């Protein structure tokens, strides 16, 4: 399939700014990145729950879930992870245009792929949150038993073991999830959103 040259961009009648005014907050993507077991799903869902309870427009995009549907055709090879993150970036952009605070929980191991997504957004809309947690701790947590399988060679290209993770150079937020509780981690994120007047 080639790219069509016969496509025209339509500006929407209701603008993103109109939606921010109605919602009483700005929209953005909280881009959680880190190893399996570092706490992405836990924190993305905890922040989402907190925002929902206070009446904010919020939604979670989660790796395991998106790979069941939209990205069920993709594997864990480097080129498929790249396409996984590109598509999720585009989906997150639609959510941000719709006025929501999106919490995305994907390993997103490659700097270049995360930066590609960053460049889809205005500066203040993309908030990279690096969950910095030693692999030994993630492996001890092993919430889904995947590290055990990866060590036995039953899962190929497993991040941190047989596939690389590139830590961000300049993330907006760093959370050491082995030193902070879930509550402390959420406070740090909410503090940032308030400082930047997103909330």
Ligand X SMILES: Nc1ncnc2c1ncn2[C@@H]1O[C@H](COP(=O)(O)OP(=O)(O)O)[C@@H](O)[C@H]1O
Apex CA 92: angle with CA 87 and CA 97, to 5°? 130
Which residues, numbered 89-128, are part of the site for ligand PPS (CB under 6 A)? 106-109
CB of 148 to ligand X, least distance (A): 14
Binding to ligand X by residue 86, rule CB under 6 A? Answer: no
The CA distance from 149 to 105, in Å, is: 22
- The answer to whether residues 57 and 101 touch, using CB atoms and an 8 Å cutoff, is yes
Tokens of 34: 């880190």
The CA distance from 88 to 106, in Å, is: 9
* Closest of 19, 24, 81 to residue 199, by C-alpha: 24
Q: Which stretch binds ligand X (CB under 6 A): 11-19, 39-47, 111-119, 149-157?
A: 39-47
Binding to ligand X by residue 37, rule CB under 6 A? Answer: yes
Which residues are near ligand X by CB under 6 A? 34, 36-43, 105, 141, 143, 177, 180-182, 185
Which residues are near ligand PPS by CB under 6 A? 36-37, 40-41, 63-64, 67, 76, 81, 84-85, 106-109, 144, 146, 155, 157-159
């Amino acid at each position: 399939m080639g790219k069509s040259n016969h496509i025209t961009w339509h500006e929407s009648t209701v603008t993103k700014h109109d939606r921010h005014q109605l919602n009483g907050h700005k929209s953005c993507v909280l881009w959680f990145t880190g190893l399996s077991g570092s706490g992405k799903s836990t924190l993305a869902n905890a922040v989402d729950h907190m925002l929902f309870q206070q009446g904010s427009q919020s939604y979670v995009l989660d790796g395991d879930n998106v790979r069941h549907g939209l990205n069920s055709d993709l594997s864990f090879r480097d080129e498929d992870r790249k396409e996984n993150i590109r598509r999720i970036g585009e989906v997150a952009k639609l959510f941000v245009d719709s006025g929501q605070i999106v919490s995305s929980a994907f390993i997103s191991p490659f700097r270049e792929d995360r930066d590609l997504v960053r460049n889809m957004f205005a500066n203040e809309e993309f908030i990279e949150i690096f969950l910095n947690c030693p692999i030994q701790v993630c492996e001890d947590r092993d919430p889904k038993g995947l590290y055990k399988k990866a060590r036995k060679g039953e899962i190929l290209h497993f991040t941190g073991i047989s596939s690389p993770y590139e830590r961000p150079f300049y993330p907006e937020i760093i959370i050491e999830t082995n030193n902070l509780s879930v509550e402390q981690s959420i406070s740090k994120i909410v503090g940032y959103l308030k400082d930047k007047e997103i909330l």
